[in-house]
Amino acid sequence: MNEFLGAALLVGAVLFGGVIVALLENLNRGKIIKLLLSLSGGFLLAIAFIHFIPEIYVHNGDTIGYYILLGFLIQLFLEYFSGGIEHGHVHVKGKHGAIPWTLFISLSIHSIIEGIPLEGQFHEGELLNEIIDVHSHHGHSHESAIHGVKGLLLGVILHKIPVAIALMTLLIASGFKKWKAWLVLGIFALMAPLGIVLGHFGVAHFVVDMEIILAVVVGMFLHISTTIIFEASENHRFNFVKLISLLIGVGIAVITI
């Protein structure tokens, strides 16, 4: 898989979310968002615990935990400005028809950060090559590492769809004309590919080690996935359909990794 195909999949996931909003205009999009979020939350949580946390700890030792925690806190900070749209919250605020800039910027920062380590996906696991060299004697295969990084791409794609649905729903509810809503959504769709471009040209390498950025992204995933899981319960009882969606997400992660 090359950079162009990966970027196209990321852009396509966001636009697909917009298409769902356009096609299901008269249906309860809130339920669709919650089900897709439960699925993506289960997937993100599973790949974090099954693959990425063990891998990055093997290579970096105890210090990597600080960066996972940093990612968790960064996501907490970003959601203060985004209003929690990453896990399905749609709150109409501000001037009618005006772009919610703080929300858009926080979502864009999130997408750029998670896109940077995706660059390793497109060079036969470049992101994890050093890890493989260090602990190949522990029985980890090159193929396993490649699948893990592909899991990162799939996790981002699965989460982009419900976020795009929530964003498009918010824009329309805020009084945006359809062409303007599609324009904003299209710009947002380019943020993760922008992160890939930054990773490709070594911006992340010059600033900080790529594995540290991966640890930050894993921390962000942990915040998003656990928030989705906790918010999926209603009246302290977990909705059965959401539970099934979550378990399907976990199952997809286990199978693909």
* pLDDT digits 0-9 by tens, 137-155: 444 444 444 444 577 888 8
DSSP 234: E
Find out whether 89 and 166 touch, Cβ atoms under 8 Å.
yes
What phi and psi values does residue 124 have, to the nearest 5 degrees?
55, 50
DSSP, collapsed to helix, strand or coil, labels residue 94 as coil
Give the pLDDT band (50/70/90) at residue 52: confident
Give tens-digit pLDDT for 16-28. 999 988 887 655 5
Q: Are 225 and 55 in contact (CB under 8 A)?
A: no
Candidate from 27-36, 131-140, 195-204, 228-237 with smallest mean pLDDT: 131-140
Q: Is 238 helix (H, G, I), strand (E, B) or coil?
A: strand
What residue ranges do the domains of the chain occupy?
A: 3-18+51-256
Single pTM value for the model: 0.81
